Structure 1
Amino acid sequence: MPGRVTSPRSAAPRRCAGRRDGTVVVAEHPSARRVTVAVPTFHRNAELRRLLTPLLPQLAETAAGGEWDAEVLVIDNDPAGGGRVVADELSPSADGRLRYVLEGTPGLAAVRNRALDEADGRLLVFLDDDEEPAPDWLATMLAMWAHHGSAAVFGRVVSVFEVERDAWLVAGRAFIRPAHRTGDRLPAVATNNLLLDLDVVRRLGLRFDTRLAFSGGEDSLFTTQLTRGGGTILWCDEAVVYEHVPQDRLNRRWILTRAYRNGTVEETVARLAGSGPAHAIRVRLQYLLGGVVRVVGGSGRVLLGRVTGKLTHVARGERAVARGAGMIAGAAGFVYQEYAKRTAARRAA
């Protein structure tokens, strides 16, 4: 069970920490003057526009407080630079706080490493291009970091659906993420709502592993290495972003494919997080056995659901089987390259 950091200011509403009036305190970190919000993007102009439109006013409001120089960095992985049109469209109202760069090397790891290279201040915040920040999101993230001085802060991601979900998705709690309390310590996280203290990242010499460029999991490995290096990742429940889930993901096939992919990636990340042949063998055996247990247990739950007529057991059992199969495949050396297929299809379009 993750540890939890308590805050004497936790009673303040709609803030993870900070002054009673809601302003951000940075006196403990006099070198912290610049925050970069990095948004990797690829062929998602409408989504990028939807994210930047509410984000830019938050940057201006944060900078107006006098303690921060805030910017957003759009990193386009489209060789044709398709996202530039959105940046050009919004730049006149951005007051110089919107930067656009083109990263020609395909893959998530290269894009995230470009963000590490481009950010020249103390803090770097990652968002995905299919997300939308809640009001006061950035101020809340900064307040949490300023109060605790942790290596990272991870905020809550809430899924928003374009169409009504079918009964299988609802019963299986698809897209419902684990809940935590503000101040909980996490061993590893994704980068879809993540603030990083770059002083810690640079001291540890961390980079996103390019071997995971097309499978995903580069964020899990990065943050695992961060915490194993002594850094702390704190959950901030009040720092909310909304993930807009498109209709083509709201189906059983996509969910089961993602569960299988997660199983392969989970094993790969665990193996890469250590070193030496003994570690690799131990991880492979662990995930081989764990995968078998998931497949057997999930199959039993599916059978139970069909006998009792409870769709919850069927849906969650099928997801367990898919993830277990992925763990077994990962232990055998296979990694599902989800983003390679997506990237190739879009580049050919």
Structure 2
Amino acid sequence: MKWSVIICTHNRADDLGETLQAVSRLNYPAGDFEVLVVDNASQDDTEGVVEQAAAGMPHLKYLREDKLGLSHARNTGIANAAGEFVAFLDDDAAPIPAWLEKLEERFQNSRVACVGGRVKPVWRTLAGWPDWLHPRLIGYFTVIDHDDFRDFGYPCCPAGTNVAFRKAVFDEVGTFDPNLGRTGTSLLSNEEADLCVAIAQAGYRILYTPEAVVHHKVHENRLTREWVLDRSYWGGVSSAIMERRRFGAGNRVHKTLKYLALIMASESLKRILSLTDDHKKTFFWECQALFSRAFLKTLWLGHGQGNAAKGKS
């Protein structure tokens, strides 16, 4: 078996059905890849959707993981994968037909352990980019759209909705950290970044290919100020948890100085910009300040204290 495609899902049966339709159109030999759907404690008709799709996809398998958390679900998929390579796809995403072929082309060098592809947004209800949302925040919507081939290195890394690994690397560096990644409605993240740092520290390469394209839905509930602020806060928490684990004391001092300076700069810029009615930049710096505060609280107090102190102040 060459490939295992893993789709983790939680209460998105309708989106999952569309994703499985797209996966069924992959132009990779059917006998050389499997599709594993990991149902992460869903309460909807996820199992029924998979059963219906399996009638036309004999290589499709259903797995259940009742311990809530995206990292738990991904690790269950890895434990059951038979492929030489493991590719992850979100339950609300659609790969192009040549997706696996284009990912595989970048694994020719044995020192390449991870390959990520392009992620294009599908704006479900957006008539135009919101006038309050700065383009520099587009990464919060899982958009990766570089035109060139490149190596990734932290803080840049592939998106979890379009990333593949050489399965053998998990035996060497471990799998996804259950302390990171989405859990229910929590916006905790950075489980992919954490794993990619471990892979790079082990001496392997992480590559990007613009030719392996996935179209990923941006749900309407994310196009609000509240969601973007929450995403900023949890981004800071997630980055701090990961960096406490992967980097030494020198990094802690460096990042403390960096984010203290960023907080002070953000507050000054917000006051100046408030006089110009530039809502995009004002909101952008509000997000930067929130990320920085959350990062520092979590870096020095730990996750529990950082979470309790959320407060967006």
Q: TM-score range by the shorter chain?
A: 0.7 to 0.9
Structure 1 position 192 matched with structure 2 position 161: yes
Bigger drift between 326-335 and 35-44 goes to 326-335
Q: Could you say which residue in structure 1 is the equivalent of 2:28?
A: 62
Determine the C-alpha separation between the residues in 2 that align with 1:245 and 1:57.
Answer: 22
Assess if the C-alpha contact under 8 Å between 1:172 and 1:315 holds in 2: no
Letter in 1 for 2:271: L
1:102-159: per-residue Cα shift (whole Å, max 9, x none)?
A: 0122212211111211112210001111211123222211222247762111001122
Q: Could you say which residue in structure 1 is the equivalent of 2:259?
A: 291
Assess if the C-alpha contact under 8 Å between 2:236 and 2:295 holds in 1: yes
Assess if the C-alpha contact under 8 Å between 2:12 and 2:44 holds in 1: no
Assess if the C-alpha contact under 8 Å between 1:151 and 1:200 holds in 2: yes
Letter in 2 for 1:166: P
Letter in 2 for 1:245: V
Q: Could you say which residue in structure 1 is the equivalent of 2:311?
A: none
1:291-319: per-residue Cα shift (whole Å, max 9, x none)?
A: 22222222233233222333332132122
Letter in 2 for 1:101: L
SS of residue in 2 equivalent to 1:167: coil
Structure 1 position 169 matched with structure 2 position 142: no
Residue number among 263, 273, 297 corresponding to 1:329 in the alignment = 297
Assess if the C-alpha contact under 8 Å between 1:267 and 1:284 holds in 2: no
SS of residue in 2 equivalent to 1:210: coil
Determine the C-alpha separation between the residues in 1 that align with 2:224 and 2:294.
Answer: 19
Q: Could you say which residue in structure 2 is the equivalent of 1:21?
A: none
Letter in 1 for 2:189: G
Determine the C-alpha separation between the residues in 1 that align with 2:93 and 2:42.
Answer: 22
Assess if the C-alpha contact under 8 Å between 1:108 and 1:216 holds in 2: no
SS of residue in 1 equivalent to 2:132: helix
Task: Evaluate the alpha carbon distance shift between residue 51 and residue 145 of structure 1 in structure 2; reply closer, same or farther with a 3 A threshold.
Answer: same
Q: Could you say which residue in structure 2 is the equivalent of 1:152?
A: 114
Task: Evaluate the alpha carbon distance shift between residue 178 and residue 207 of structure 1 in structure 2; reply closer, same or farther with a 3 A threshold.
Answer: closer
Using structure 2 for the length normalisation, give the TM-score: 0.85
Determine the C-alpha separation between the residues in 1 that align with 2:93 and 2:269.
Answer: 34
- Aligned 1:1-349 pairs, distance under 5 A: 33-58=1-26, 61-63=27-29, 69-78=32-41, 80=43, 82-94=45-57, 96-146=58-108, 150-164=112-126, 165-169=129-133, 173-174=137-138, 175=141, 177=143, 179-188=145-154, 189=157, 190-202=159-171, 204-212=172-180, 214=183, 215-274=188-247, 279=248, 281-335=249-303
Determine the C-alpha separation between the residues in 2 that align with 1:172 and 1:315.
Answer: 11
Q: Which runs of 5+ in 2 are unaligned?
A: 306-313
Letter in 2 for 1:225: A
Determine the C-alpha separation between the residues in 2 that align with 1:212 and 1:143.
Answer: 30
Determine the C-alpha separation between the residues in 2 that align with 1:178 and 1:159.
Answer: 9
SS of residue in 2 equivalent to 1:292: helix
Assess if the C-alpha contact under 8 Å between 1:155 and 1:239 holds in 2: yes
Determine the C-alpha separation between the residues in 2 that align with 1:171 and 1:310.
Answer: 13
Using structure 1 for the length normalisation, give the TM-score: 0.77
Assess if the C-alpha contact under 8 Å between 1:294 and 1:323 holds in 2: no
For the pair shown, the structure with the greater C-alpha radius of gyration is: 1
Task: Evaluate the alpha carbon distance shift between residue 87 and residue 178 of structure 1 in structure 2; reply closer, same or farther with a 3 A threshold.
Answer: closer
Q: Could you say which residue in structure 1 is the equivalent of 2:309?
A: none
SS of residue in 2 equivalent to 1:212: coil
Determine the C-alpha separation between the residues in 1 that align with 2:143 and 2:178.
Answer: 26
Letter in 1 for 2:21: T
In the TM superposition, residue 91 of structure 1 has moved relative to its aligned partner by: 0.8
Bigger drift between 232-241 and 306-315 goes to 306-315
Letter in 2 for 1:307: L
Determine the C-alpha separation between the residues in 1 that align with 2:229 and 2:70.
Answer: 22
In the TM superposition, residue 255 of structure 1 has moved relative to its aligned partner by: 0.5
Task: Evaluate the alpha carbon distance shift between residue 336 and residue 38 of structure 1 in structure 2; reply closer, same or farther with a 3 A threshold.
Answer: farther
In the TM superposition, residue 170 of structure 1 has moved relative to its aligned partner by: 5.0
Task: Evaluate the alpha carbon distance shift between residue 163 and residue 90 of structure 1 in structure 2; reply closer, same or farther with a 3 A threshold.
Answer: same
Assess if the C-alpha contact under 8 Å between 1:171 and 1:311 holds in 2: no
Assess if the C-alpha contact under 8 Å between 2:131 and 2:280 holds in 1: no
Q: Which runs of 5+ in 1 are unaligned?
A: 1-32, 338-349
SS of residue in 2 equivalent to 1:307: coil
Determine the C-alpha separation between the residues in 1 that align with 2:257 and 2:10.
Answer: 37
SS of residue in 1 equivalent to 2:179: helix
Determine the C-alpha separation between the residues in 2 that align with 1:247 and 1:264.
Answer: 24
